Structure 1
């Protein structure tokens, strides 16, 4: 069996596709922070998003900072759009070495199980599961030609713990976890690694704009770190998992949530009583 050499976090010469890289006019989230970070470590980045103008702006920003990036519009509900993304990557850079599946749909009508409309369920799965699977198909085919590559899927703590709403979103993210381990299992011997990150609440522009102060206080109370996560916290983990430094990590579902799901509900009160 071959032994893979570890060369650290350097991504020079690698081509990375990052989906869901922008958030309309609200700035970047996890995908955008990852695109910036990968470009900063030498990767050529294809910035893909439904909002083409915002993706182009991010690609230009990366270029102005000394990196290399191009933008491509992506509609994950459209198989033709996904195919065009990878054709553009190959046309511009020759191949794909890294895929960060990050784009996702969150619909307001995704509520409780008995109130959920079936068209909402179908739309969520078309984008959040089928879209990831199709993107992974295209990436794996190219990576097999290269002798390997890395896929990092953005899942969620919603796949690991229940909530009183967003049942379709949680089910989609659980399906992404399964897709992750199946991809890792089926193509690991061909040099392709696949892992998933499960973010907790992340202080992206869109998240901050859609949450109340009371909810933020509750999240902060139950997060074990003395701060909530940022897109850059997630980007560091995604970039690491995509890099040669993570050569022996595959098939893993990694929570990046500040310890949100790792303790009992009463822990906060116990920590306060202990003076922590």
Structure 2
């Protein structure tokens, strides 16, 4: 392995680490030498992930909507491992009921908007704030935020979710600017559709076809694809990269409107 990609000796917190992108990131980071605090609202699932790795991982409960639990999570991780070098802000507001409520602005309940912003923006800010002193102390701290391709485009639905992810992109730039001279880099990864276990089971087949038709690649992303991007940005291989959003969507956001129709027209 290219030496700069190694995470040997590093300590990381991965929020939302009990499944999907978070779990794939935990697996990859530990495989590259890091020790990881698996933070998740589903503590039992986080424990199942951490147990696989013995002393290299611990599970910590955390609820992004409750400040005290966030503070306790960061303190527990640092107390256990003695330091913190990497923060992967991956946890997000989830649940089918919440997704269904995230309709157009004209029909949206204020509570839905507030829930997304409380979890994704306020919660991520608090995690970052609590982690920053330890990342500064590391002298080589790295933050990687999971945002979304939806932050870059308009859509008929998912207005609250996409707005929070756009806000997180700006938070990424702000932290990178303010803390670069203090030894902390901050970047983001913007996935497109990622076939996590839940998505693979529940995502409507007709909508999956729509996404595939608009994807220049012949596949949609897997959690491991995003984990590779996160681990790269957290490593010394990305030491001169900060304040950036790496779009990992298979090319969905790069092409002209009507891409699928053009492919049909040209017989491609």
User: Aligning the two structures, in what range does the TM-score lie when normalised by the shorter sequence?
Assistant: over 0.9
Within 5 Å, which residues of 2 pair with 1:256-275? 256-275=248-267
SS in 1 for 2:4: coil
Within 5 Å, which residues of 2 pair with 1:149-168? 149-168=141-160
Within 5 Å, which residues of 2 pair with 1:115-264? 115-264=107-256
- How many pairs are equivalent? 263
Structure 2 unaligned spans of 5+: none
Greater fraction helix: 2
What is the distance in 2 between the residues matched to 1:156 and 1:88?
Answer: 29
Equivalent of 1:11 in 7, 11, 18? 7
Q: Which residue of 2 aligns with 1:71?
A: 59
Give the alignment's TM-score, normalised by structure 1. Answer: 0.92
What is the distance in 1 between the residues matched to 2:129 and 2:3?
Answer: 27
CA deviation vs aligned residue, 1:24-68 (integer Å, no higher than 9, x gap): xxxx200110011000000000000000000000001233xxx71
Please identify runs of 4+ aligned residues in structure 1 that moved more than 6 A. none
SS in 2 for 1:163: coil
Cα RMSD for the two superposed structures: 1.3
What is the distance in 1 between the residues matched to 2:187 and 2:207?
Answer: 30
- The CA deviation at 1:160 is 0.6
SS in 2 for 1:196: strand
SS in 2 for 1:250: coil
What is the distance in 1 between the residues matched to 2:257 and 2:223?
Answer: 26
Counterpart check, 1:31 vs 2:34: no
Equivalent of 1:59 in 50, 61, 65? 50
CA deviation vs aligned residue, 1:165-202 (integer Å, no higher than 9, x gap): 12111110010000000000000111110001111000
Counterpart check, 1:84 vs 2:64: no
